[in-house]
Structure 1
Amino acid sequence: MNGEGARRRDVTVADVAKAAQVSKAQAARALGNYGAVSDDVRERVLAAAEALSYRPNELARSMNTGKSHTIGVVVGDIENPHFGLATRGITDAAKKAGYNVILVNTDEDRAAEVEAVRVLLDKRVDGLIVAPASSVDTEHLRQVHQSGRPLVFLDRSGGTLDVETVAVDMAKISLQATQYLLGAGHRRIAFISTLRTDSPYRADMVLDSSQIADRLEGMRQAYLAAGLPFPEDLVRLNAGDADSIRSITREVLRGPEQATAVVASDGLIALSVVEAIQELGLSIPADVSFLMYDDFPWTRLTSPPLTVIAQPVYNMGAAAAKALIRQMEGLPRAAPAQFTATLVRRGSVGTVRAAAAAPKLGQLAGEPA
């Protein structure tokens, strides 16, 4: 086999030293930017490294310096545009500060998250940004925190852990959004989420996700303030794939106690909910009102444009990276960044009178009234 067909051997520090006509120790100091080395030697070494297309062994460097200049990021679902946008904010801020990012997806599974954290620590990342799959079962994250490894939570809290957290006040914006729906006359408001639970929702349940728990608490507070009973039967969790989301949507829109408004907890759920509503031949907002969390360009292109709860997701990701970098560089902890979600009112919420006047779903499907 000729040389062109063979795998090219990686250029080593010894190769650079030989080309620069200096010792290996001098070349290592010049390339690693540590220790005493003359300007002449540094220039020769750097010129040789460029000519040879030398790339440093990052693992060896991290073992020598204790720094890898990498950040580990653990999120639940990279298919969800919410996390995609947050990750973009993280990587942009990290790159500007000279750090690389290693991203791991857990599919919102705690066991996968435990393994992801272990792998990233084995790779000697300098710090971790985690969107916890569970805000309750966080022992693995407690161990990271107690070890002194820099750690920031994104989007969700870690329960009682005193870890810097970048998130919005979900209970507050959920209260506001529910009051808006109640003000339009809606009493039967469905809430659909992918959060996994072992049983149907009950008000006394301890939920793994602080985000979902806070959203439901905001809804309950709005009903309580209005002197109305909270429709627990319309809180539907465990909405897994698109088929189950469409099935749940059909369920909450059936029968005499059907929902007159549906709230989707993220953009992926929203797509399947809207699809199911269309398949049923119902109209938004004449037959059913619709509201979703997160604002993406497509929500303005539907007919009608969708009412959303907008979060500054990109800025939250960037803030999480900056907070982690401050920790990694030994700087004092800054005041927590304050982020606010906004209810963006468009055309997908109407008065309940319009929905009440519409034919029942059974009639639309040709079933007896």
Structure 2
Amino acid sequence: MRALIKRLLEILGDESLLLGVIKDEMIAIRDKFGDARRTEITEEAPDIEMEDLIAREDVVVTMSHQGYIKRLPVNTYRSQRRGGRGVTGMATREEDFVEHLFVTNTHDTILFFTNRGKVYSLKGYEIPEAQRQARGTAIVNLIDVEPGEAVTALMPVVKFADDVYVVMATRQGTAKKTELTAFAAIRRTGIIGISLAPDDELIAVKMVGEDDEILLVTRNGMSIRFGQDDVRAMGRTAAGVRGIELDPGDIVVGMDIARDNADVLVITNNGFGKRTSVSEYRPQRRGGKGLKACKLTDKTGHIAGVKLVREENQLMLMTMAGYVIRFQISDVPRMGRYAQGVKAMALEEGDQVISIARVSSKIAEDLED
């Protein structure tokens, strides 16, 4: 024991001897326990994208006339028969009403086209979820729209493909085509999508492929169908070309893509609707007066919207008072272009249909009770 104490005191009293002992012991530990490092030291942890944490799910997005937007699960609205009254889609205030309604996915990009021709974007999950009767979030809190600027067209985009174009239609009958990729990167303050005349506004936007044809329908029941290749591709700031020649006082209220084996469904503001085979709308050159799309009377009112539909689709209608109804397209009878249609939705006095949305067969299955 005395020998050990003497040895330890010698080590503590001689710094070089102490360092030598420490070195020998560290080498022994290394030889016995040494292996490759199992952790990695970095300056900062890798970023986790919010999108990676968001579930992919189909949702209904609604936006009011005064710019309040929200998203809801697609099963919020139960399926009903044509002619029903519907359920309340949101709580509205005086002089406000639901203006936009569509089905999209939380991971899709939503492009917001305004009446002034500017374009903004959000991801589906960036639109706050709310209860069915909630008013929603003011769009000015999500995108930097300017005073007097209103969102007039919304377009969900799954992928910004090189061979896809965006076709825009204005109230005064102008049509314009631009590459979809031109809208892939949009700053928060927005970018120009189309240059407009002082008395014109942007009212509809669609994606088109190589062989697609465009159908424009006016408030007074006129229509024109022409190939998308009849409109040459232009840059974002171009003004476009004439799509349809309008009678005095008439305006364009809707645009869709005219595909074979589909029906043209028109809905009037007084709740009348019908579907007509797209083959009855013969292709023409753009810029003409077009063909009659619907017989209109005081009872039917004017055209509120148009969609290209198939038998397996469902339709959602929204009214100025905030009521929503969803029913099978097969519940709406096929009629000729000159027919006025049947009652598609029962309206309260003073109420009007102001927004329609087509629901695909896949989404329709999810909507079933």
Instruction: Compute the TM-score of the two structures, normalised by the length of structure 1.
Output: 0.23
As a proportion of its length, which structure holds more strand? 2
As a proportion of its length, which structure holds more helix? 1
- The structure number with the bigger radius of gyration is 2
